[in-house]
């Protein structure tokens, strides 16, 4: 599998080949360009040079080919799967299960799950219970600040279908309308075993390359925004998706 030697790029060689090809073409197509001016290049020449000498991605022999990407992706996923940094953030009743999951009895750190202090360092956002609209606003801001790849795990029946707050005037009912959720953990409240089970499910998804709602969120941003704006009345987010 690790036949890395085939991937070494004969850079110098290929560059010069390409350049010569390009200059040949130009000579035939555009006779004006043949006249060599010595000294300071004109603006046009600079522009042309920028186009000509820009690094090119061709498939053969480059790092960008499909096989290599697959392998790189495999290694990346493997690493991601075993270092899930969870944002230390809790809503609803469920945050009380997190200390139990993280500490010595259940010891989630043996799976590479551990806390992260800020959203920029975190991979996983755990929604541990019901979300009032006030909290939802903060959660969306937090989610948007996280770096790709990012995953969302939602806890408890409150995030799935409203749970026992189904008729509350202030809590949302289906979380995946507002944020892309990777794994739902059922229960009210799920015990640490099921929390760890959920994390293992997420690891499987990551390994297969199926996890990570970040792209989904970016692609369907309009749909998500429309849903979010329906419940968040005073919308004061930045207009553009800005990270």
Partner 1 sequence: MQKHILNRLKKVFKVEGDIKAPLRIKIVADKDLVSSILLYLKNQMGFIHLNHMSCVDWIEDNKFELVYIVWHPEQKQTVLVHTFIDRDNPVMENIDTIWDQANTYEREMREMYGIEFPGLVGAKEFILEDWQEMPPMRRDFDTKKYAKETYATRPGRENARDVRKEIMKRSGEELPEFAKKYSRD
Q: Determine the Cα–Cα distance for residues 163 and 174; give it in Å rounded to an integer.
A: 10
Helix pair 133-145, 221-231: axis angle to 10 deg: 150
Give yes or no for residue 180 binding ligand SF4 (CB under 6 A). Answer: no
Question: Binding of ligand SF4 at residue 98 (CB under 6 A)?
Answer: no
Among 81, 89, 94, 151, binds ligand SF4 (CB under 6 A): 94
Q: List the structure tokens of 128.
A: 């541990």
Phi first, then psi, for residue 15 (nearest 5°) are -50, -50
CA–CA separation, 37 vs 44, rounded Å?
13
- Identify which range of 6-14, 81-89, 98-106, 150-158 contacts ligand SF4 by CB under 6 A: 150-158
Among positions 33, 47, 82, 230, the unique one binding partner 1 when judged by CB under 8 A: 230
Interacting positions 182-241 with ligand SF4 (CB under 6 A): 188-189
The one segment of 31-39, 91-99, 145-153, 223-231 that binds ligand SF4 by CB under 6 A: 91-99
Q: Show the DSSP H helices in 40-181 as ranges.
A: 43-52, 66-81, 97-102, 133-145, 156-161
129 interacts with, out of ligand SF4, partner 1, none, CB within 5 to 8 A per kind: ligand SF4
Task: Give CA–CA dist 181/241, Å, rounded.
Answer: 19
Please tell me whether residue 151 adopts helix, strand or coil conformation: strand
Instruction: Establish if 134 lies at the interface with partner 1 (CB under 8 A).
Output: yes
Among 23, 161, 208, 210, binds partner 1 (CB under 8 A): 161
Q: Which residues bind ligand SF4 (CB under 6 A)?
A: 92-94, 129-130, 156-158, 163-164, 188-189
């Amino acid at each position: 599998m690790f036949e890395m030697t085939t991937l070494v790029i004969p850079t110098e060689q290929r560059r010069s080949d390409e350049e010569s090809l390009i200059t040949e073409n130009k000579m035939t197509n555009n006779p004006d360009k043949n006249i060599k001016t010595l000294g300071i290049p004109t603006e046009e020449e600079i522009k042309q040079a920028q186009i000509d000498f820009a690094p090119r991605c061709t498939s053969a022999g480059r790092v960008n080919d499909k096989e290599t990407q697959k392998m790189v992706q495999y290694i990346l996923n493997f690493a991601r799967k075993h270092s899930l940094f969870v944002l230390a953030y809790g809503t609803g009743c469920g945050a009380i299960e997190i200390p139990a999951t993280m500490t010595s009895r259940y010891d989630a750190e043996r799976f590479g799950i551990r806390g992260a202090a800020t959203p920029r360092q975190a991979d996983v956002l755990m929604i541990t219970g019901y979300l009032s609209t006030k909290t939802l606003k903060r959660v969306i801001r937090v989610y948007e600040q996280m770096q790709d790849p990012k995953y969302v795990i939602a806890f408890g029946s409150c995030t799935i279908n409203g749970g026992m707050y189904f008729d509350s005037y202030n809590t949302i009912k289906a979380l995946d309308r507002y944020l892309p959720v990777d794994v739902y953990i059922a229960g009210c409240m799920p015990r640490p075993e099921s929390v760890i089970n959920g994390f293992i499910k997420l690891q499987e998804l990551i390994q297969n390359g199926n996890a990570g709602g970040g792209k989904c969120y970016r692609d369907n941003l309009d749909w998500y925004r429309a849903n979010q704006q329906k419940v968040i009345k005073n919308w004061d987010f930045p207009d553009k998706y800005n990270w």
